[in-house]
Amino acid sequence: MLRLCAVFIYLLYGGKADPEETCPAFTALSFGNALVGTDLKVKLLLYTRQNQNCAEELHSTDSKYLNVTKKTTFIIHGYRLTGSAPVWIPDLVHLLLSVEDMNVILVDWNRGATTLIYNYASRNCKKVAEILKKLIDEMLVAGASLDSLHMIGVSLGAHICGFVGQMFGGRLGRIT
């Protein structure tokens, strides 16, 4: 009977045993956060064809979905005056996954990018790049290649991409 209940819960909630379990999501803040400023906190949200609609939060390469032998595209947003989530990100994630079976890592540094003072956000760019370098170093040890990495950055996110590229001596596969 217990096994039957577990199967029912699995089918009902799409594989989640805990009905309260939710998908990690982009950090949504408010204009109030911009008024007081935010301390940097980076979330790395992995999407693949196996988990297109429910990200996996990465803390290392030890992941259920990350396959370092596939192409990996990083999406990095920029300055967020109001703290809202960029509306274009979900469409870009799904578009990339519809074109190729790859890893898409959304770099959520909204806590750190949300402030009225642009210079405060810009000071966090190198710190975000260092966090990404650490993950990429782990990926390289696990079998990834620099040629298979693509970074897409918007606004200050483009600066972060440039810093990461510089840290790897300009050998990243592509920066957009």
Q: Is the pLDDT of residue 139 over 90?
A: yes
For residues 70 and 17, the model is more confident at 70
Edge to edge, the sheet with strand 174-175 lists: 56-58, 41-47, 103-109, 72-76, 149-153, 174-175
**Strand, helix or coil for residue 72:** strand
Residues 6+ apart with CB under 8 A from 11: none
Cα 173 to Cα 73, 80, 105, 138: the distances in Å are 10, 27, 15, 17
Question: What average pLDDT does range 10-29 have in this prediction?
Answer: 63
The amino acid at residue 117 is I
Question: What average pLDDT does range 117-142 have in this prediction?
Answer: 97
Q: Using CA atoms, how far apart are residues 87 and 92, in angstroms rounded to an integer?
A: 10
Q: What is the pLDDT of residues 57-110, one digit of tens each?
A: 999 989 999 999 999 999 999 999 999 999 999 999 999 999 999 999 999 999
Phi-psi region of 87 (alpha: psi -120 to 50; beta: other; left: phi over 0): alpha
The pLDDT score that the predictor gives to residue 1 is 45
- CA-nearest of 111, 107, 72 to 89 is 107
Do residues 75 and 44 lie in contact, with contact meaning Cβ atoms separated by under 8 Å? Answer: no
Residues 6+ apart with CB under 8 A from 143: 68, 69
Do residues 54 and 26 lie in contact, with contact meaning Cβ atoms separated by under 8 Å? Answer: no
Q: What is the mean pLDDT of the chain?
A: 90
92 CB neighbour count, 10 Å cutoff: 16
The pLDDT score that the predictor gives to residue 11 is 35
The pLDDT score that the predictor gives to residue 37 is 87
The pLDDT score that the predictor gives to residue 17 is 40
Domain ranges of the chain: 22-175
Q: Is the pLDDT of residue 8 over 70?
A: no
- Band (22; pLDDT cuts 50, 70, 90): confident
The pLDDT score that the predictor gives to residue 100 is 97
Global confidence as pTM? 0.87
Q: Is the pLDDT of residue 10 over 60?
A: no
Locus of tokens 């996954």: 97
Q: What is the pLDDT of residues 33-65, one digit of tens each?
A: 999 989 999 999 999 999 999 999 999 989 999
Q: Using CA atoms, how far apart are residues 50 and 53, in angstroms rounded to an integer?
A: 9
Q: Using CA atoms, how far apart are residues 88 and 96, in angstroms rounded to an integer?
A: 12
Q: Which CATH number fits domain 22-175: 1.10.1040.20, 3.40.50.1820, 3.40.50.720, 3.30.450.40?
A: 3.40.50.1820
The pLDDT score that the predictor gives to residue 21 is 57
Rounded to a whole number of angstroms, the distance between the first and last alpha carbons of the chain is: 54
